[in-house]
A and B are shown apart, each in its own frame.
Chain A
Amino acid sequence: MDKDLPVWILEPELTEKRDSSARKLFEGGQKADYLPETISIGDTRRQLRTLREYARSNISVLAGELKTNLGQKYPQVKVYTAADSVEAIEYITRASDGLNVISINNSSIVTQELKPGLTAGGFTVINSYLNEFDVKERSIRDYWDLPRLSEKNLAGTFEVSIKTTVLDSDRESKKYLTVLGVNAMSAEDCTVFFLEHFSNIYNDLRQAEKVILVVGLDKIVKDRQDANFQTKCMAVFGMESALLGLGPKPRQAPSIDELGLLSSDRNRELHVILLDNGRAGLLQGKYKDLFLCIGCRACNQRCPIRHSFTDVDYIWSPRNYLNQFLYGRSHSIDVCLHCEACRMECPLDIDLPHLMWQAKMDYTSKHGPSFYHRILGKPELLARLGTPFAPLANRLMANGLVRVLTEKIAGIDRKATLPRFHSQTFRKWFRQNA
């Protein structure tokens, strides 16, 4: 019999079981009798940057190598290359062969890219992560409550705890598909890497009749060592963001177990979809640094608006917000405050604020600014208009009717406190006094 594709899963905590993984996450896995190895965050970031730059520069070679190796070493795996999400969804629909329930992993960008199309195609899409997510109360509300774990020798806290395969599972399979976005894949030996905080991915790998692994082109790295390191970095740098997400969540759908799906009497299948969906295009242009992203969502950690976007149909992070915009799934990039906290948290130093500006400039060069921004985009002109008539302008801006008008014309909220004009500007004063 042919060898079965190796799947390695990293989980929090090395020595204990996961029954209290939320608590372990909270404590960062640090216990008196288990202190992780000392690492330098700076060295880790540099090593990660080198790894990602290599992957970015060699993506077509790596993707070709992965396909060849999959074909030669694991012929029982069905491999498909999808140019975009439409092709991937068509492939999944064909592969489903009558199955209509799909279990996905939560935060993987590729599954987020495919989820809307799968739902629209009539599949019942279940987020198994949320179903395992049984956190009764929120202990960490915001980033200032965080213990700054990444600075506390956290690297040893996540290890490969499961080395498994898919097709020779010992568990009885059920009539559903699982579509799982992998966190890294080795081109050299095809080892698949996942990060999981609970046990949802492992369960789906073992019991879904058809397992479809989706590999974004950016997830293909040189070898197993790199894939392991990248996944570990995703865990370490994304941990605090994961902690921020820990809290009671409404149940969105029944779990696979609750659905009472029938046992499957067919052979299990393993598919691998290599998904481009705009990734290769990123390499050519201004947004090529997005290809370096490992999806850890550290950028989300100190984002001031992260609380306000829990109801969007994708997993919110500044990077994902930009992605939505770049792929035309949203038409505004204006909600970003440009505080630049995301840039400072990113382990790869991806300059998200600048890329947001770039996206904004690209968009307005085609479509022009919004109606309100035509006025607000000329701040100095507004200041110059008000200055010569400062006392009058200030009185007018305090008038309720005028504020209603400025709200209608310029989109300035009538309740907002505005700065006051001065007849003598600094530069005028300077000319007269210096």
Chain B
Amino acid sequence: MPENLIGNKKAAIYTGCFANYYYPEVGQAAVEVLRRNGVQFIVPDQVCCGLPMIAKGNTKGAYKNLEYNARILSQAVADGYAVITTCSSCGLMIKRDYPLLLDNEQTRLVSENLYHITEYLLKLHEMGQLDTGFQSLHRTVFYHTPCHLTAQQLGDVSVEMLKLVPGTIIEHIGRECCGMAGAYGYEKANYKLSREIAGKLYSEIEENPTDRIATDCGGCKLQIEAGTGRKAEHPIILLQESYGI
């Protein structure tokens, strides 16, 4: 097994539920950006990562999904594919929690070879393998860092990636929790608290007007949009635009 699978330029895309069911443009953008960079990709059969299931007490279902994903994705890794996700929460679950919840070779293999999409692209860049033929777009961006990206020590990867695009100015980086936490913020029991937590983020956005708002997390996106009335997009969408594809 090579030290890492980036150099193979083969990727198995794990979309997660949000990008699959509610925000398919993200998965589509990831496909286009990978294609542009000559990465050979597959979308293996997959189910929910299990994080929202554990959160709501469906432990049995979560373990079933965990085992399913670990089996399929570890096979992809064995075939030389790095696992890529666009979702910071699925990424955290698979990278950090899978081996903690079920310590076996499959979960370890998948965990060690899982990359957030922008982390993967940055690594390609470090290897001189990223197509940097971006169009200059002259736009300012407010970037909100999802807690679950920070928890993977990847808080800056999407910002670093966006900075590679000429004319993109990261005007402000929000680092405070948005309070959404998956379905937590929908729940009647938490709705008020969740919106209170988001208050700091809302004022930051108001104080730092930009052309675009970006965040990697579907939950953060919904929370930002609900509180500001503005659109929040995944950084991969901005990258897709920068390539003009």
Contacts and interface: CB of A to CB of B under 8 A. Distances in A.
A337 B100 contact: no
Interface stretch (A124-132, A193-201, A313-321, A407-415): A407-415
Interface in B18-52: 18-24, 26-28, 31, 43, 47-48, 52
Interface in A333-379: 334-335, 337-341, 343-344, 351, 353-354, 357, 360-361, 363-365, 368-370, 372-374, 376-379
Contacts of A263: none
Contact of B197 (A304, A373, A425): A304
Given A379-B17, A380-B47, A426-B26, A413 B186 contact: yes
A339 B188 contact: no
Interface string A173-207: 00000000000000000000000000000000000
Interface string A406-429: 010001111111111110111101
Nearest to B101: A357
Interface residues of B, number: 55
A421 B177 contact: no
B232 to A, nearest CB: 12
B15 interface: yes
Contact of A365 (B31, B59, B177, B193): B59
A423 B159 CA distance: 32
Contacts of B18: 419
Contact of B48 (A374, A380, A417): A380
Contact of A341 (B31, B100, B177): B177
A430 B222 contact: no
A428 to B, nearest CB: 8
A305 interface: yes
B20 A417 contact: no
A338 B61 CA distance: 19
Contact of B97 (A308, A354, A386): A354
Given A305-B193, A379-B17, A416-B186, A339 B151 contact: yes
Contacts of B80: none
B97 to A, nearest CB: 7
A304 B220 CA distance: 14
A418 B59 contact: no
Nearest to B183: A376
Nearest to B189: A411
Contacts of B230: none
Contact of A427 (B20, B150, B151): B20
B183 A434 contact: no
Contacts of B56: 369, 373, 376-377, 379
A383 interface: yes
A179 B147 CA distance: 40
Interface in B192-229: 193, 196-197, 200, 218, 222, 225-226
B176 interface: yes
A142 interface: yes
A379 B183 contact: yes
Contact of A429 (B28, B52, B179, B197): B28
Q: 5 tightest A-B contacts by CB?
A: A369-B57, A377-B58, A426-B27, A377-B56, A417-B226
Interface of A: 142, 144, 302, 304-305, 307-308, 334-335, 337-341, 343-344, 351, 353-354, 357, 360-361, 363-365, 368-370, 372-374, 376-380, 383-384, 386-387, 407, 411-422, 424-427, 429-430, 434
Given A377-B52, A379-B52, 18 more contacts: A305-B193, A338-B55, A339-B147, A339-B148, A340-B150, A344-B150, A344-B151, A374-B57, A376-B52, A377-B53, A377-B56, A377-B58, A411-B187, A411-B188, A416-B185, A416-B191, A425-B21, A427-B27
